[in-house]
Amino acid sequence: MKNFLIIIFLITPLFTQAQKLKVKEKEVPVTQAQESSNLSLRKIFKNESATSDFTFEVGPGQKRLRVSAQGSCDQGTIEIIVFWPSEIAKIKDQTHYKMLKINSAADVSRSYVLKLDNEDYQGTWRIMINARDVIGNYQLEMSAN
């Protein structure tokens, strides 16, 4: 019974001191839920050629774009081209953001992050995949939030 009383005696002053501390209240602004967009493309080629176009939307309030691409080829070449939305292409005087070529020289893995610091980055981004006589694969992922 003495041990029990000693433990209570030692713990009680800690709680009493903690209760005496004043906590400042802090206002946290309520913001709209942030929208995110994701696109994932993947293909395995077995001695094939193909050209495909895809689109990706970046909306208002999205502050960051991430582009990640990887792939390998035993034969042929895969080109992945990510084009700017039309407004930013005019400002930068170039049509594409990034171009990645994958061939038999090496397996490739690249990742880019772009800060979307103005509304000109909003809109439709276009992705073009060109594969010529390819034995290989690629994977592309884009996300904006």
Nearest to 58 by CA among 9, 111, 19, 114: 114
pLDDT in tens, 52-82: 999 999 999 899 999 999 999 999 999 999 9
Tracing tokens 């582009």 back to the chain, one arrives at 67
Tell me if 121 sits within 8 A of 59, measured CB to CB: no
Confidence (pLDDT) at 52:
96
The answer to whether residue 94 scores a pLDDT higher than 90 is no
C-alpha Rg value of the chain to the nearest Å: 27
pTM for the complete prediction?
0.72
The answer to whether residue 22 scores a pLDDT higher than 50 is no
Confidence (pLDDT) at 19:
45
Average pLDDT over residues 38-57: 96
Confidence (pLDDT) at 90:
80
Please give the CATH number for the structural domain made up of 39-144.
2.60.120.380
Q: Is 25 exposed, middle or buried (0-12, 13-18, 19+ CB in 10 A)?
A: exposed
The Cα–Cα gap between 137 and 50 comes to 12
Dihedral Cα 54, 38, 43, 113, nearest 10 deg: 90
